[in-house]
Structure 1
Amino acid sequence: MGSASPITCTNTKADFGRERLVDWLDHVVLPHAGALARLSFFACVPHPLLVPAAERLRGSGVAAGAQDCAATGDAVTGEVDAGLLAELGCRHVMLGHADRRRVFGEDDLLVARKAKAASAAGMTPLVCVGEADRVSAEVAARHVAAQVGVAAGRLGRGRPVTILYEPIWAIGSRDGATPEHAAVVLRALKTETVGLDADFLYGGAVVPGTYTALRASADWDGVAIGRSAKDAGMLAEVAAELLDGRR
């Protein structure tokens, strides 16, 4: 369906310990909290950092999200239940990130089960999809449509979900997908999520100017920011661009 205003998020991966996370929140994120709150900005952080992040962000309008959750509500040692994350105040949980697919072999069915668990706990799943190699837009579209279709089939009609299209080859790269390539993929994603309350983000080499270029070809709801979120100046530029893009 798409949001009335653009949305954005970031994933800190495992780059920050507690001290560095707090420093980043204090000096990069919170100085721009007003603009970021209007973008429903959230930062997905490792589970041990959720509480300190939430405490630092309290009252700012900016939120902390989780980077993963368990696929079931069973009491499995070492797993983090979606209900517990919701109890801690998480509104979003990232699922199916390329790292987890590559390192832990997570497949589309497992990601779909996690998305269902997150949704049942009252959170919005942030489902990550993307092709591994540089391929044609049509091949990429078929690949991500298959990924999303599994998750969409597990979620109830009208349930909120955010789809993050992040080509794996673009992660950490200087160049992301072209707006034309991304537009073809977006059409496929929208077809697979008919009946859901879905938002669509693009990620991969996002810098100031990326959202404007993307919007010239397709109606993206926002972007996920990687390295640009670690620089106060770039974060402010991207936030201003998103806010200006929907006026």
Structure 2
Amino acid sequence: MSTSGSNAGNGTIYVGVSTKMYLGYQASLRWLSEVRSIVDDRPGLAGNPPVRVFVIPSFPVLEPATRILAGSPVLLGAQNCAWGDGPLTGEVSPGMLAELGVSLVEIGHAERRKLFAEDDATVARKVRAAVGHSLTPLLCIGEPERLDAGAAAAFCVEQVRAATGGDTALLSRLVLAYEPVWAIGAQEPAPAQHVNAVLAQIRAELGPDCPLIYGGSAGPGLLPQLPGADGLFLGRFAHDAANLGRVLDEALVLAQTRGSDPRARQ
């Protein structure tokens, strides 16, 4: 999953789903098969599509997922990785993920930070380990409580700089998922006006070198309201694969609009 040169300016839209730990093993396999069918039924997603779909199931599902998705444009991701290999009992190394066919790995999610005490230093080590094995870090950023757009953007920019150690060259290897913590699992996503303002300020600070997507109770109808976003990171809503299909249809229409009108994202 290459992000080099920035997809932000070429109309590419990312739509992804994490199953977290809501689905069991068999339910995960059924869901992946349904996702495969939904993508196969949309010719606009074939080849080198303007909409890139990714799925992030639980670790035990990754190996069968590679078989279910073989030949599909769907990208496979992992929900976490270790910062290395060797004596790290219970962890999964980025090298093993790469062997399995994983192309991106979620790092720094708010739940990992809160529930498993992952700090900026840990996140930074994982980012570098993932990049070292040619995986794309899906770096989760977001303010823990409601702030104005300027303060929220400043918080997120500091998270990115901490995760990259200030190495701007790493930005082209990332996908950033802006997930305000207060919107995760909420009844409604963060207001579109807030999201657009935060994304615009993040992009102004960091430049256009990596895609910037939104997550946090995202669903149908939201993406067209977010001209500043390069896509959506979906959660439980998309555990019904039909709902993912609805968002993909919106994304395909939007990608066509953005591709024909460079001003559509401004």
TM-score by length of 1: 0.90
| Alignment equivalent of 2:7, drawn from 2, 6, 13 | 2
Instruction: Output the amino acid matched with 2:239.
Output: K
Instruction: Output the amino acid matched with 1:178.
Output: P
The answer on 1:85 being equivalent to 2:94 is no
4+ residue runs of structure 1 moved beyond 3 angstroms?
Answer: 34-38, 191-194
Asked if the contact 1:145/1:188 (under 8 Å) is kept, the reply is no
The number of residues matched between the two structures is 242
| Alignment equivalent of 1:17, drawn from 24, 30, 47 | 24
Q: Distance in 2 between matches of 1:192 and 1:74?
A: 37
The answer on 1:242 being equivalent to 2:251 is yes
Encode CA deviations 1:184-228: one digit per residue, 9 max, x unaligned.
Answer: 22133224534x84111001121111000112xx2x111111123
Indicate the structure whose relative CO is greater, using CA pairs within 8 Å and at least 6 residues apart: 2
Per the alignment, residue 175 of structure 1 pairs with 188
Q: By how many angstroms is 1:155 displaced? A: 5.1
| Alignment equivalent of 1:119, drawn from 125, 131, 146 | 131
Q: How is 1:97-246 mapped onto 2 (pairs within 5 angstroms)?
A: 97-153=109-165, 157=169, 159-194=172-207, 197-215=209-227, 218=228, 220-246=229-255
TM-score by length of 2: 0.84
Instruction: Tell me the secondary structure at the aligned position of residue 7 of structure 1.
Output: strand
Asked if the contact 2:150/2:201 (under 8 Å) is kept, the reply is no
Identity between Structure 1 and Structure 2 (%): 38
Q: Distance in 1 between matches of 2:210 and 2:165?
A: 13
Instruction: Tell me the secondary structure at the aligned position of residue 246 of structure 1.
Output: helix
Q: By how many angstroms is 1:125 displaced? A: 0.2
Q: Distance in 1 between matches of 2:102 and 2:37?
A: 22
- Extract unaligned runs of 5+ from structure 2: 1-5, 257-266
Q: Distance in 2 between matches of 1:85 and 1:174?
A: 33
Change in Cα spacing, 1:232 to 1:11, as seen in structure 2 (3 Å) is closer
Change in Cα spacing, 1:131 to 1:112, as seen in structure 2 (3 Å) is same
